[in-house]
Structures are given as structure tokens and as C-alpha cells.
Amino acid sequence: MKFIVSSGHLLRSLQAVSGVINSNNTLPILDNFLLELSPSALKITASDLETTISTSVRVEGDGLGMAAVPARILVDTLKSFPEQPLTFTFDLSTHSVELSSDFGKYSLAFVEGEEFPQLPDLEDASHAEIPAHVLTTAIQKTLFAAGNDELRPVMSGVFFQFASDSLTFVATDAHKLVRYRRTDFGTDHTAEFILPKKPLTLLRTTLGTGVNAVKIAYTTANARFEYDDTVLTCRLIDGKYPNYEAVIPRENPNRLTLDRGALLSSTKRVSLFANKTTHQIRMKVAGNELHISAEDVDFANKAHERLTCNYEGNDIEIGFNSRFISEMLSNLESEDVRIELSAPNRAGLIVPVDGIEPGEDVLMLVMPVMLNS
């Protein structure tokens, strides 16, 4: 078993799948890449049992076979090489692989590939196809809002909701919520499932932004994503997602429109003077002016800024966690945003005014915090 491969191509493929490997695996075999050789391609697989990702790279192969090779030392070694052809020769009698480069030779022990965990079988799976750029954008817009509470695992992922006339992606941690919807795409079958953060992060880093279709197969327990030369399989989060539509306020008579960049910069500056525990900022809208202020009584710090806005509604004063506002504004690309408010004790909505494609709908919700008198 022997193959020749470009060092740069191999390194990029290894790095694409290495993100799934944990630093403290329960099974030693999971510290390895599974290499499966065919005459013209090398399939590289990494897994943590919950999530498995594999990709292929073109090689000049001699023989067929598979072996589990230590991941960390292989990646670190390839990082040190300039672009050059590398030759890998596997000695089955000594369970060692010899790597030959322009600089010298290096030997590594490998483990039998049969010991590597097998992928779950997706029997009677449902199927869907969506463009890569849609899935990439949906993940980028929602992932930051997913929670980290181990007691509420259903909120620690992104909720996928497929219908014939729309694709909906939702993430929330009970303090903030993001709903990303496409009404210009749909699927043959309706479906709902919750995808964990780790596979979502891997998808975000390995998916392209083209129009190539991502093939999705899913059961009640697992999902598989196929795109380009990559296949990602993961276990889904078990449980029922909360009724997110019920928390989105429908009647919001107070609406202000202003420059997103100016609001983001102002929020970041003012929040430096806010209480370091609550991160509370105060927003007061009167006429066509938005007043943003913060105060840390313990250290006698306070700040106040004023922004011009277009406003429809009654004067209102409301408090928010500045980190949530900054996160949401940072994950929008629009020039202007619209903030919709109903009452100081009810959630506020942030929606982009421009910069979205036809059929694209982005809604961000943030819960208020009680203002100090």
C-alpha cells in the first residue's frame, strides 16, 4: 500500500476534517485519521463518535487498504513542509508508515483501519437538497444565538424546519433568538430536527458559498450532509424545540430606523462604562433621537451618546444587555436596521432594512433587562 500526494492538498484535506477530533478522546483510536486508499483517491475520515466527517484527495495510489494514522503529528509535520510531492509507504508487517519528502524520511506507527468506528446506518432516511450558499448563510446568521446550557440541550443547537415553500433555521438561548427564513427554496418533504453546534461549525468552515447543492439525508436520530468531496454525519439533538413563534411579539407600534454601523459602534463604546455583571445599556427614544447610556454605580463610570434616527411611535425607555445587541448587529450586513418595540418589559426585534436577497427573511429578537431606577 503506497501513494504519492501533494503536501499542500493533503494538508488542506486533513485540516478540513481535523476540527472534529477532541483533545481528550475516550477511545485512543479517535486520535487518528482513517486513511482509505483506492487507485486514484485517498479518503480521509475523522470522528468523535457523535460527529464523523470525511473528504477525498486525489493521489497516485498503488494497492488498496486502510490504516489509522496519528492525527496531530501528521498535521504538524505537513505544516512544516513547503509545497512538494510526498510518498507514503505502508509496511503491514511492522505496522508502520514511512513518509518520504525532499528533506528526508519519517516513520509513524499506524493502527489497523478495521478498529475505527463505523458510521451509523441511515435506514429509511428522508432526503433534501438545498444550495450550499443558503445553508452557509443560515448557519452564519443563527449559530451565535444558540445556547450553552447543558440542562436545556434542545437550545444548544440550530432548529432546522423544512417545508415545500420555505426553509427556516432558528437558534435561541432564551435571552436572544434568531430566525432565518428562505421563501424562495423548499423541500419535497416537511421535516424538523435540531443540529448540534459542533457539526454546524464544521459545516460553516468546509461548505462553499456556491450554488452547488448540499444533499441532506436524515432520520430521527442522525443526519448526513454530502457536498463536493465531503461527507459529514452527525447525531441529532433529541427533544422538542420550543414554540419560538409564540415569543415573537406581533404588535410593535414603536419603530426606529437608523444606521447599523453607527448603532454598533455607539453600543460598543457606551458598554465599556456599563456594569460588568449585567452589561446593561439604556435606550431612550424621543422624537427623532436615540439616547444610549450606561452607568456603573460601583465605580462611578457612566457614558451617554445620542444618535439620529427615524422614529414612529411614543417615547419609550428600555434596557438591554449590550453584548446581545452587539452580537446581533455584528451578524447583519445591512446599511440600516429597524428596531421594533412594544413595551419596556417586552422583547425587541431587530430586522435588516436592506442588504437581503429576494425571498430572504432575517429576524432577531432580544429580551429586555429591568432598568435600574
pLDDT band at 373 (very low <50, low <70, confident <90, very high): low
Q: Say how many Å lie between the first and final Cα of the chain, rounded.
A: 74
Directed axis angle between helix 260-271 and helix 322-330, to 10°? 150
Which domain CATH number covers 289?
Answer: 3.10.150.10
Has residue 372 been placed in a domain? no
What pLDDT score was predicted for residue 78?
96
* Cα(313)–Cα(222) distance, integer angstroms: 47
Question: H/E element holding 130?
Answer: strand 126-131
- Asked which of 115, 145, 177 is the last residue of a domain, the reply is 115
Coil vs helix vs strand at 22: coil
Residues 224 and 299 placed together within one structural domain of the fold: no
Q: φ, ψ for residue 123 (rounded to 5)?
A: -75, 140
Q: What is the pLDDT of residue 121?
A: 85
Average pLDDT over residues 115-142: 93
Looking at residue 210, its pLDDT comes to 67
Mean pLDDT of 272-290: 95
Give the mean pLDDT of 115-127.
90
Over residues 334-345, the mean pLDDT reads: 96
Per-residue confidence (pLDDT) for residue 150, from 0 to 100 = 87
Which whole number is the average pLDDT over 321-338?
A: 97
Residues 253 and 209 in one domain: no
Q: Which of 34-48, 124-138, 204-218, 301-315 has the lowest mean pLDDT?
A: 204-218
Closest C-alpha to 6, from 82, 74, 71: 82
List, for residues 76-101, the tens digit of each pLDDT value. 999 999 999 999 999 999 999 999 99
- pLDDT tens for 291-310 read 999 999 999 999 999 999 99
Which of 169-178, 226-235, 333-342, 364-373 shows the lowest per-residue confidence on average (mean pLDDT)?
Answer: 364-373
Instruction: Quickly state the pLDDT bin for 17 (edges 50, 70, 90).
Output: very high
**What is the overall mean pLDDT for the chain?**
95
Higher pLDDT, 371 or 28: 28
Q: Show the domain range for 253.
A: 249-366
Q: In terms of domains, do 130 and 241 share one?
A: yes
From 190, 224, 245, the end of a domain falls on: 245
Instruction: Tell me the per-residue pLDDT of 250-276, one tens digit each, with 9 for 90 and over.
Output: 999 999 999 999 999 999 999 999 999
Do 95 and 130 fall within a single domain?
Answer: no
- Is 121 part of any domain? no
Q: Are residues 357 and 296 in the same domain?
A: yes
Instruction: Give this prediction's pTM.
Output: 0.93
Amino acid at 338: R
**373 falls within a domain:** no
SS3 276: coil
Q: Find the angle CA(226)-CA(128)-CA(225) to the nearest 5 degrees.
A: 20
Is a pLDDT exceeding 90 seen at residue 20?
yes
pLDDT, residue 211, reads 65
Given a contact cutoff of 8 angstroms between Cβ atoms, the answer to whether 214 and 187 are in contact is: no
d(C-alpha 90, C-alpha 77), whole Å: 17
Q: What are 191-234's pLDDT values in tens digits?
A: 999 999 999 999 999 997 666 899 999 999 999 999 999 999 99
- The residue-averaged pLDDT of 151-179 equals 96
- Co-location of 24 and 135 in the same domain: no
Last residue of a domain, one of 115, 146, 162: 115
Answer whether residue 65 is part of any domain.
yes
pLDDT score recorded for residue 39: 86
The answer to whether residue 144 sits within a structural domain is yes
Residue 96 and residue 162 in one domain: no
pLDDT of residue 16: 93
